[in-house]
A and B are shown apart, each in its own frame.
Chain A
Amino acid sequence: MSFKGTDIVSIRDFSREQIDEILDLADKMIPYARGDKITKALDGKILSCLFFEPSTRTRMSFETAINRLGGRSLDMGTPSMTSIVKGETLADTIRMLEAYSDVIVLRHPHEGAARLAARFSQKPVINAGDGAGQHPTQTLLDLFTMRKQKGNMDGIKVAMVGDLKYGRTVHSLAEALTMFGAELTFIAPPSLQMPKETIKQVEKLGGKPKVKSKLEEVMSDLDVLYVTRIQKERFPDLAEYQKVAGMYRVELDALREAKSNMIIMHPLPRVDEISPEVDATPHAKYFDQAFNGVPVRMALLMLVLGGEL
Chain B
Amino acid sequence: MKEFKVTPIRNGTVIDHIDCGMALKVLRIIGMDGGNVQSPVSILMHVPSKKSGWKDVLKVEDRELDPRQVDKIALIAPRATINIIRDFNVAEKHNVKLPDVVIGKTRCANPNCITNQKEPVEPEFIVEGKNPPILRCVYCDRILENIADNLI
Contacts and interface: CB of A to CB of B under 8 A. Distances in A.
Interface string A94-128: 00000000000000111111011001000000000
Interface string B111-125: 011110111110000
A111 B142 contact: yes
A132 interface: yes
A197 to B, nearest CB: 7
A10 interface: yes
B113 A111 contact: yes
B139 A116 contact: yes
A90 B116 CA distance: 13
A89 B118 contact: yes
A113 B141 contact: no
A91 B119 contact: yes
Contacts of B95: none
A112 B113 contact: yes
Contacts of B41: none
Given A91-B119, A91-B120, A197 B143 contact: yes
B58 to A, nearest CB: 34
A70 interface: no
B143 A115 contact: no
A111 B140 contact: yes
Contacts of B118: 87, 89
**Binding site secondary structure of chain B:** loop
B120 A111 contact: no
A108 B140 CA distance: 12
B119 A89 contact: yes
B27 interface: no
A113 B120 contact: no
A132 B119 contact: no
A110 B114 contact: yes
Nearest to B118: A89
Interface in B117-152: 117-121, 137-143
Contact of B139 (A89, A91, A109, A111): A111
A111 B114 contact: yes
Interface in B39-71: none
A109 B138 CA distance: 17
B76 to A, nearest CB: 22
A162 interface: no
Contact of B141 (A87, A119, A134): A134
A189 interface: no
Contacts of B110: 111
A111 B136 CA distance: 13
A112 B125 CA distance: 12
A131 interface: yes
Given A90-B114, A116-B114, A131-B112, A111 B141 contact: yes
A133 B139 CA distance: 10
Contacts of B121: 91, 116, 119
B52 to A, nearest CB: 26
B139 A115 contact: yes
A99 B110 CA distance: 31
B117 A110 contact: yes
Which 3 residue pairs of A and B lie closest in terms of their CB atoms, listed nearest first?
A: A112-B139, A111-B140, A112-B140
Interface of B: 108, 110, 112-115, 117-121, 137-143
21 contacts: A12-B141, A89-B118, A90-B119, A91-B120, A91-B121, A109-B112, A110-B112, A110-B113, A111-B112, A111-B141, A112-B115, A112-B137, A112-B138, A112-B141, A113-B114, A115-B114, A115-B138, A116-B121, A116-B139, A133-B140, A134-B141
Given A10-B141, A115-B140, A116-B114, 4 more contacts: A90-B119, A91-B120, A130-B140, A134-B141
